[in-house]
Structure 1
Amino acid sequence: MSERLIVMGSLNMDLSVTVPRLPQPGETMPGADVVRAPGGKGANQAIAAARLGADVKMIGLLGADAFGDELRARLVAERVDDRGVSTVAGVTSGLALIVVQDDGENTITLSPGANRHVDARCLARLTAPGAIRSGDTVLLQLEVPVDTVLAAARAAREAGALTVLNAAPLPTAPLPAELLRTVDVLVVNETEATGLLPPAQKTAPTHDIIGDLPAGDQWLTHAERLRSLGPGTVVITLGASGAVAAGQTQQVRVPAFDVEAVDTVGAGDAFSAQLALDLGRREPLPRALRRACAAGALATTRRGAQDALPTRAEVAHLLEAVHAG
């Protein structure tokens, strides 16, 4: 059972503003003061895993700018091993522009910056002898080039590591079929789940009745369809309706936790980190999925991405409180 995670992915500076509602195209919407905070799906998931108790190594790139210095300092402060993170001259660090609605819904515009240069030179840190050990967990996302993600997944499989892909954000071009065949666990939300399916299978379930189970069954069908593309386990997050998972021997449906959401920005990253950590420990899928839902729910109760990520103790407290209730 491993608590050693290797995260290859993006590092961004997040600039966010809260508005009464998300603006329509062409509309100007007054908002609150801009908040600057370290982010990026790779860094978010690395820091989330560290707070949840994992030994985490981060692999990625930063620009030679003040944002890059700040992003590295946050990794170090959160006890993430940053020796796999390099600084690239002549490019900016990644930047995310986030607009958050009062109820927590958000839109994100991403400028990749240094993240688009994550290539074979970065990958060498992952594929060096002994860099990945059998029993490690490698956690990947799609804010760096897909070809590099595929190469990382190959390396992880060859080393005998558990490979978890959070397929977000979904690129406009289809994902390589080999990537889905190479990862052990695929994590997607409703939109991503539908987007990954072949055109003939893209009919989305009715989300608003999932609490009454029929739509949940349909999302499980979606998960099984995605499993047919190669991953051993497929997990679909359903926001306020929880999550479903299809594994090799079972299907699992977990309801959401009842919390007061103020910002959903880091929820998926907390979910993915907790899930990867628990599956790396060889926890049963139902337990791992429930704990991941708890971590994701807690992340919605505070504003920001990394600042909102919960600790292991906070996840345990929520699970105990729900059980006691």
Structure 2
Amino acid sequence: MTAPRPMLVVIGSANVDFTVQVERLPQMGETVSGGDFRLSFGGKGANQALAAQRAGAPVVMIAKLGRDPNGELLYQHLTAAGLSADGLLRDDEAPSGVALIMVDSQGRNLIAAAPGSNRRLTTADIQSLSSLAFAGRMLVTQLETPLETVEYTLRQARDHGMTTILNPAPGRLLTRDVLVLADILTPNETEASLLTGMAVTNLVTAREAGEHLREKGSQTVIITLGANGSLLVRQDEVRHFPAFPVTSVDSTAAGDAFNGVLATALLEDCPLEQAILRANAAGALAVTKRGAQKSLPTRQEIDALIRT
């Protein structure tokens, strides 16, 4: 009898994204004329789940959608993409999450999200799906659902012997009680700054922030640094992984591509250093295309970039 493939569980948000392309991002109080508008799909949870799936992982996603028109769009999109409907809960009261995104000519973005039904994903919801949520080998989660739910999910996953990855996005302060539950913590510069109170602007300050987060209870910290790649900080090792040189047009889902592919590589028993290399490649490829989920690379594209 063939043993079942190890499974990745992603618990997090799903949104409908409304994006306007602009020449430059507006200043406070300023209106700028935009270019193209597009409706697409996002949410850090959904992005990371689909990034992992495209990289070859068997994925289960747990999220809460509204019963509004946007919720129907999300449900049809996620199931058509191959994610099981078993983990897609529905809320009768709150609308589905949405994100308003502006992207400038250099690929930089501003994002504001209304969490909607994502905010109503409760510990009771996770308990009701415990046979699904904690049946895998690895769990990935973020901070677009209630912190109480995130902490419960991480604790239960650890109790079930799962490896846990916490992408602390959007950035916010976290207590030691939460940080110790993540086997791997993956903030970007902004999130690392919020978590530590330090201004993370380069490799030196990223290393200081990583060491500070380890002192606060994190075991392994990987800080993503955009065009500067990523920095691994763990016991007895600090290592910089340079970025792959690409032309950026939209950085919206770069971090989600990184996290999804990092989890996939670790699920396949890649050494952490090789997993970070693959995740860097995924993040680089994601910024070369517009949109969130449309920009997520395939396994073949990741392999091809690494070979160059």
TM-score in terms of structure 1 length:
0.90
Structure 1 letter corresponding to 2:170: P
Q: CA deviation at 1:250?
A: 2.2
Aligned with residue 98 of structure 2, among 88, 95, 99: 95
Structure 1 unpaired stretches of 5+: 208-215
Deviation by residue 1:54-86 (Cα, 9 ceiling, x = unmatched): 111111111111211111122122212231111
SS of equivalent residue, structure 2 residue 99: strand
User: CA, structure 1 residues 53+3, in 2 after alignment: closer, same or farther (shift >3 Å)?
Assistant: farther
C-alpha separation in 2, matches of 1:180 and 1:64: 34
2:186 is the counterpart of 1:183: no
2:159 is the counterpart of 1:158: yes
Structure 1 letter corresponding to 2:33: P
More displaced 10-residue stretch of structure 1: 112-121 or 141-150 = 112-121
Quote the residue 1:5 is aligned against: 8
C-alpha separation in 2, matches of 1:131 and 1:263: 32
Deviation by residue 1:285-320 (Cα, 9 ceiling, x = unmatched): 211111110000000010000000001111001001
Quote the residue 1:23 is aligned against: 26
Quote the residue 1:117 is aligned against: 120
C-alpha separation in 1, matches of 2:20 and 2:156: 39
SS of equivalent residue, structure 1 residue 26: coil
2:241 is the counterpart of 1:254: yes
C-alpha separation in 2, matches of 1:42 and 1:168: 10
C-alpha separation in 1, matches of 2:251 and 2:100: 15
Deviation by residue 1:149-199 (Cα, 9 ceiling, x = unmatched): 00000010000000000000013xx323211011100000111111111xx
C-alpha separation in 1, matches of 2:286 and 2:84: 23
2:145 is the counterpart of 1:144: yes
C-alpha separation in 2, matches of 1:205 and 1:93: 33
Structure 1 letter corresponding to 2:157: A
Determine what percentage of the aligned residue pairs are the same residue: 44
User: CA, structure 1 residues 26+205, in 2 after alignment: closer, same or farther (shift >3 Å)?
Assistant: closer
Quote the residue 1:212 is aligned against: none
User: CA, structure 1 residues 148+89, in 2 after alignment: closer, same or farther (shift >3 Å)?
Assistant: same
User: CA, structure 1 residues 125+295, in 2 after alignment: closer, same or farther (shift >3 Å)?
Assistant: farther
Count of residue pairs the alignment pairs up: 305
Aligned with residue 198 of structure 2, among 203, 210, 216: 203
Quote the residue 2:58 is aligned against: 55
Alignment of 1:42-81 (within 5 A): 42-81=45-84
SS of equivalent residue, structure 1 residue 282: coil
C-alpha separation in 2, matches of 1:25 and 1:33: 22
C-alpha separation in 2, matches of 1:21 and 1:3: 44
Quote the residue 2:275 is aligned against: 288
Quote the residue 1:304 is aligned against: 291
C-alpha separation in 1, matches of 2:5 and 2:299: 16
User: CA, structure 1 residues 12+206, in 2 after alignment: closer, same or farther (shift >3 Å)?
Assistant: closer
C-alpha separation in 2, matches of 1:126 and 1:282: 27
C-alpha separation in 1, matches of 2:101 and 2:50: 20
Structure 2 unpaired stretches of 5+: none
Q: CA deviation at 1:230?
A: 1.6
Residue 234 of structure 1 contacts residue 247 of structure 1 at CA under 8 Å; is this kept in 2? Answer: yes
TM-score in terms of structure 2 length:
0.95
Structure 1 letter corresponding to 2:91: V
User: CA, structure 1 residues 90+285, in 2 after alignment: closer, same or farther (shift >3 Å)?
Assistant: same
Q: CA deviation at 1:120?
A: 2.0
Structure 2 letter corresponding to 1:52: A
Residue 220 of structure 1 contacts residue 251 of structure 1 at CA under 8 Å; is this kept in 2? Answer: yes
